[in-house]
Structure 1
């Protein structure tokens, strides 16, 4: 998507535009009652916690960029399909030290607005993909992945045997 076709999406969603420009300022689209749900990565509540999450991400990925592929609007809600890229060369991100790896994130945010303020946002993304890209877990279908799955399956079978009645 070109900058010209991206512009209407970013005008509709100033928080994404600010993130793309790396200029969150005082994040006026969040307030102290806002909730940002990252699924398995936790929930951030209020402007300070939410801003802290994005500050950590922008520090970890100094060349972070985001592209919006699609926005669906219904009343005060937006569903935003996005792709973000960045090189993991800055600070730690969610407890993981930088690896120098170029990372691509794909996700969908479901955003509920109350006027200009984001009341809640649920982010659906793939943390396992991030973990694979930075080497935290083995690459999909690699020898190491097969070994890890095998060990897990052995553990699962042994656990089932040990839990049988009479044992």
Structure 2
């Protein structure tokens, strides 16, 4: 189980903190070629590029990004779960946000990943986007 937890730590901590030029190669090391990022009501995304895109899109909106593990990871067979915290300084660019650039934000979420052949094969995430949007002053999200 230590190998599963260690792989999850690489998936979360190394990928989110990787320099931009290293991110695609690191994603290929950690994520399976047939990786699937499940997105709730949106179409699934596939391959290592899916996690690279998620990280690039997120870090385009925030400076000084710090992703930490709050609870876990807990491993059971090929499944690993953990609770994380994302913190950063808002760069701007979210439609409807009234928070000034530089506003510090933090929100949490939970991951479930399935491992196969020493890599992350599937990824489900649930995060407190309402809390993030409230911190950024986006109408309709405050008080959630």
TM-score by length of 2: 0.75
Correspondence list, 1:72-111, <5 A: 72-89=74-91, 92=93, 99-100=100-101, 101-111=103-113
Task: Tell me which of the two structures has the higher relative contact order, counting C-alpha pairs closer than 8 angstroms and 6 or more residues apart.
Answer: 2
* More strand, by proportion: 2
Aligned to 1:119: 121
Total equivalences in the alignment? 131
CA RMSD of superposed structures (Å): 2.6
For the pair shown, which has the larger CA radius of gyration, 1 or 2?
1
Q: Which has the higher helix share?
A: 1
CA contact (8 A) 1:30 1:46 kept: yes
Task: Give the structure 2 partner of residue 31 of structure 1.
Answer: 32
Deviation at 1:32, TM superposition (A): 3.6
Aligned residue runs from structure 1 range 8-27, under 5 A: 13-23=9-19, 24-26=23-25, 27=27
Q: CA deviation at 1:131?
A: 1.6
Q: Which whole-Å CA distance do the structure 2 matches of 1:30 and 1:99 have between them?
A: 35
Can you give the 5+ residue segments of structure 2 that lack an aligned partner in the other structure? none
What are structure 1's unaligned runs of at least 5 residues? 1-8, 142-167
- List, as ranges, runs of 4+ consecutive aligned residues in structure 1 with deviation greater than 4 Å: 9-12, 95-99
Q: 2:61 aligns to what? A: 60
1:89-130, CA deviations, whole angstroms, 9 ceiling, x for partnerless residues?
16x36x677842222120110010002221101001122112
Change (3 A) 1:71 1:57: same
Q: State the Cα distance separating 1:140 from its structure 2 match.
A: 1.2
The answer as to 2:140 corresponding to 1:140 is no
Q: Is contact 2:34-2:46 (8 Å) kept?
A: yes
Rounded to whole Å, the distance in 1 between the matches of 2:73 and 2:132 is 23
